[in-house]
Structure 1
Amino acid sequence: MPATSASSDFFAALGVRIFHRRLHVGLTAVLLAALVYRPRDFFGTHATAGTIVSFALVLAGLALRAWAAGCAGGHTRRATIEAPRLATGGPFAHVRNPIYLASVILGVGMVGLLADPWMLALCVAVFVFLYTAIVPAEERFLCGQFGDAYARYCAHVPRLLPRLRPWTEAEQRPCDRTAILGEARLALLLIAIYIGLRAAAWLRGHWFGF
């Protein structure tokens, strides 16, 4: 069962307030990135290997997000915290927040492809801001919604660092293909962001000299 304290109460309340604005936070970060992004010699003599690993991380993050979204259902993309059922199967049998873990993996991969350490700093700041608030808010909701069942799940499955073997009591359900398609749209958005940031860096360099 997630711990309850004054700090966790604060972050849970903050998470409820920003949950429906999480997309706005991400878009704001992209706009900030467009102002400062500049490709650099990020990997040195290992540029090719670094790019390959970064691309693999992006694919792995997208695949994990799609798997998790399919197991959880379409409510994961809505503006409010919802859970018609407690998802414990698929990646949820290894880690309680596979979508957020996948987003971190994906974000690290994007930073590698963009090849700018300032993007890593921005990425870390956004993830810390969002997940230190949203995760406690979701845990508080799930605790109230599912009670002892959620407490037992928390006792056996870690929050963000996955266990190697799946939880034996996990409930397996068919994947929601509609939710998986939503992650395909995310892939297109990432391509647009990558092209947009590269274009912004080129325009700043040629028009404004920085």
Structure 2
Amino acid sequence: MARDNIFLSYVAADLLFVVSGGLLIVFALTTEAQMTKSPTVDTVARNLLFSQCPLNAAIGNAVLVFVTFLLSVPAMVIPMTRGWLKFTGYMTVICALYTMVVGLVIWFDTLRMRENLLPVWQALPASSQSLLQQEFSCCGYTNSTSPPFVVDTTCPNALVAAATVGCVGPFSSFGNNLLDLVFTGAFGIVGVDVVLIMATAMLLKDRKEKARYRHIDEKNGAGAF
């Protein structure tokens, strides 16, 4: 019964693993689709931040997860095989490292949020800058003159703009909060990978013991069990 539980634990961890890959690719593809639409007050900041994320790397990571899961199928359907199990274990380690690197890249970006957002702001058309000003109730980036604010309903003139905060504070705070969720999710997926690696190691040990006992019985003439 205990050995059956080891196998079932591996299957459960493997299913969680492939679900994490599904979440990765759904997030990446949905985000990319959203970014192709015209920006609005509600979406402009989010889309700008996600455009700086390694979405293609996330898609590649998801594909690697799916390939690893498919390779794990022979390890599940062939009861005594250890070769396939070892191979998928190594592949899972690669997936975990890949996801960790993606998460660390996003985390490092949050440490330089203000510095990273300035060139993004400067490259935006006036219409997008105006949407950001409306979303965060701010004028200009650092302040109303650096870079200069865009005239809109939030910043109708220089007097109002001078009395309004620059966008760098609320924009970077929003970016940190959003990307914190993203890299935390990435590290959570790494946790799932680690669980699968541990389940793989346990199943490998179990199958190795079964093979050893089978060889002992064969030598004693009792036949394999």
TM-score after normalising by structure 1: 0.34
TM-score, normalised by the number of residues in structure 2 = 0.32
